[in-house]
Amino acid sequence: MEAKKVMLSGIQPSGDLHLGNYLGAIKNWADRAEEFDCYYFMADLHTITVRQDPALLRKRTITQLAQYIACGLDPEKNTLFIQSHVPAHAQLAWVLECYTMFGELSRMTQFKDKSSKHQDNINAGLFTYPSLMAADILLYQPDYVPVGEDQKQHVEITRDIAVRFNNIYGDVFKVPEPYIPKAGARVYGLTTPGDKMSKSVPEGCVFMMDDPAVIAKKFKRAVTDSDREHCVYYDRENKPGVANLMNIYSAVTGKSYEEIEREFDGQGYGVFKPAVGEAVIEMLRPIREETERILADKAYLESVYKAGAERAGRVAFKTLRKVYKKVGFVAP
Ligand code: TYM
């Protein structure tokens, strides 16, 4: 029998999960378990590149695990774990830092972005973050890394690091492909349709645990444009707010832009905006309810992350051992 292909991805528990995380990433993780060998984790090591509240970080990490399961990731079929529970991530990250160039790290958009936002804390971890992410990925030899558009650059540097390492030591790492969805790859903020949806602008960010009334209000207040006719058609440049709402609606319902244009022809934004909100509410409702149910069972969640770390640890250690041998470390 041919071995299953491998899929892996992670999300930082630095904030509550939002619609961008769901449509850009998680939605494409569920339902893959039969076809792929899947690894999904809470990227807690990454979060401390920016200061975190320790109690809140712990709470968000557990909530995120419950959300993964509520989104359809069955822990029996997917390996779900907390990044810091598998020491090989930090161990391989160090090795890969020595095969990552200062120049490439300097070009990373996320580094430039975060260092300009947190000028009082431009730490070494923020700079070497992509080497840790490369370690996260390469340890599991995945074929695909399902992420939103904004993480594509990090998957590309991972590929460069893997190729560089393989060129010196032979075929140690599989070179993975990013797997980016057609709709929902880049969800913009509802109040800032020029910038990606992010927790830093909460009024334009739809959190997965938001109350339906709150979600409805956020969509009603979504920024559109001054088109007097209130025409719903796709024009990313001139109608970014409408384009974003169409993209969200398309990702949620599976409808094409032409179908959406026809559906709202002559109806105006007053009908369109609440309709998108309603579709999102109905998509998120069962996930939120299921998350709350799972969160009440702390012992179950603990058993999931413990079993996950054990499974992930075995696979990761195999790659780490190979790398240590290749670079010349004496076997412990
Ligand atoms: P993070 O935690 O910022 O985001 C998690 C996932 O959500 C996607 N995403 C979005 N997609 C569409 N529209 C948006 N507005 C939006 N905002 C976020 C991201 O593309 C991502 O897929 N470095 C990573 C976490 C990470 C990782 C990894 C991912 C660490 N190690 C290994 C894959 C493999 C990050 O900060 O994503």
Closest approach atom of ligand 1 to CA 132: 31
Confidence (pTM)? 0.96
Ligand 1 center to residue 24 CA distance, Å? Answer: 8
Q: Look-up: residue for tokens 């149910």? A: 293
Q: Provide the pLDDT for residue 42.
A: 98
- Residue 191 within any structural domain of the chain: no
Q: Tell me which residue of 61, 130, 67 sits closest to 99, measured CA to CA.
A: 130
**Residue 272 sits in the same domain as residue 321:** no
Name the residue with the closest Cα to ligand 1, atom 19.
148
Is 196 part of any domain? no
Pick from 200, 176, 211, 226: nearest CA to 289:
211
**Which residue lies with its CA nearest to atom 5 of ligand 1?**
11
Residues 126 and 206 placed together within one structural domain of the fold: no
Query: Does 44 share its domain with 181?
Result: yes
The residue whose CA has the least distance to atom 7 of ligand 1 is 21
Query: Are 211 and 277 contained in the same domain?
Result: yes
Say if residue 234 is in the same domain as residue 315. Answer: no
Average pLDDT, the chain: 96
| Residues 235, 181 share a domain | no
Tens digit of pLDDT for each residue in 66-86? 999 999 999 999 999 999 999
Mean pLDDT over 96-110 rounds to 96
Please tell me the predicted confidence (pLDDT) of residue 66. 98
Q: Which band of pLDDT confidence, cut at 50, 70 and 90, is reported for residue 1?
A: low
Rounded to the nearest angstrom, the distance between the alpha carbon of 201 and the centre of ligand 1 is 17
Residue 2 has pLDDT above 80, yes or no: no
Residues 6 or more apart whose CB falls under 8 angstroms from that of 198 comprise 18, 20, 189, 205
Tens-digit pLDDT profile for residues 16-71: 999 999 999 999 898 788 899 999 999 999 999 999 999 999 999 999 999 999 99
Q: Which domain holds residue 143?
A: 5-185+297-327
* CATH code, domain carrying 74: 3.40.50.620
pLDDT digits 0-9 by tens, 302-329: 999 999 999 999 999 999 999 999 999 9
Instruction: Report, as an integer, the average pLDDT of 195-209.
Output: 95
Residue 289, pLDDT score: 97
Pick the residue whose CA is nearest to atom 36 on ligand 1: 12
Asked, for residue 192, whether it belongs to a domain, the answer is no
Q: Are residues 157 and 217 in the same domain?
A: no
pLDDT attached to residue 9: 97
Distance in angstroms (rounded) separating the CA atoms of residues 79 and 5: 14
The DSSP letter of residue 329 is P
Using a pLDDT cut of 70, give the percent of the chain over it.
100
Q: Which one-letter DSSP state was computed for residue 90?
A: H
Residue 78 in domain:
yes
For the chain, report the end-to-end CA distance as a whole number of angstroms.
34
- Which atom of ligand 1 lies closest to the CA of 150? 20
- Number of domains present in the structure of the chain: 2
Instruction: Determine the Cα–Cα distance for residues 280 and 18; give it in Å rounded to an integer.
Output: 11
> Cα(83) to centroid of ligand 1, in Å?
14
User: Rounded CA gap, 267 and 231, in Å?
Assistant: 8
89 lines ligand 1 (CB under 6 A): no
For residue 195, tell me if it sits in a domain: no
Considering the domain architecture, whether residues 263 and 316 belong to the same structural domain is answered as no
Q: Cα separation of 117 and 115, whole Å?
A: 5
Residue 33 lies in a domain: yes
Residue 312: its pLDDT value, please? 98
Do both 119 and 255 map to the same domain? no
Indicate if 220 and 127 belong to the same structural domain: no
Residue 211 included in any domain: yes
Lowest pLDDT segment from 115-129, 131-145, 162-176: 115-129
Q: Which of 27, 196, 218, 239 is an active site residue?
A: 196
Confidence of residue 274 (pLDDT cuts 50, 70, 90): very high
**Given the residues 199, 255, 318, 326, the one annotated as active site:** 199
Q: Which of 5, 114, 152, 318 is catalytic?
A: 114
Is residue 199 part of the annotated active site? The answer reads: yes
Regarding whether 114 and 218 lie in a shared domain, the answer is no
Whether 197 is covered by a domain: the verdict is no
User: How far is residue 206's CA from residue 55's CA, in Å, rounded to a whole number?
Assistant: 23
For 187, phi and psi rounded to 5 degrees? -95, 130
Tens of pLDDT, residues 204-225: 999 999 999 999 999 999 999 9
Please tell me the distance from the alpha carbon of residue 95 to that of residue 323, in angstroms, as a whole number.
8
Distance 258 CA to ligand 1 centre (A): 29
Clarify whether 217 is annotated catalytic: no
Decide: 132 and 45 in contact? Cβ < 8 Å. Answer: yes
pLDDT of residue 170: 97
DSSP letter for 147, please. -
User: Are 244 and 162 in a shared domain?
Assistant: no
pLDDT tens digit sequence for 214-268:
999 999 999 999 988 889 999 999 999 999 999 999 999 999 999 999 999 999 9
- Pocket flag, ligand 1, residue 10 (CB < 6 Å): yes
User: CA 175, CA 234: separation in Å to the nearest integer?
Assistant: 36
pLDDT cut 90: percent of the chain above it: 92
CATH number of the domain residue 237 falls in: 1.10.240.10
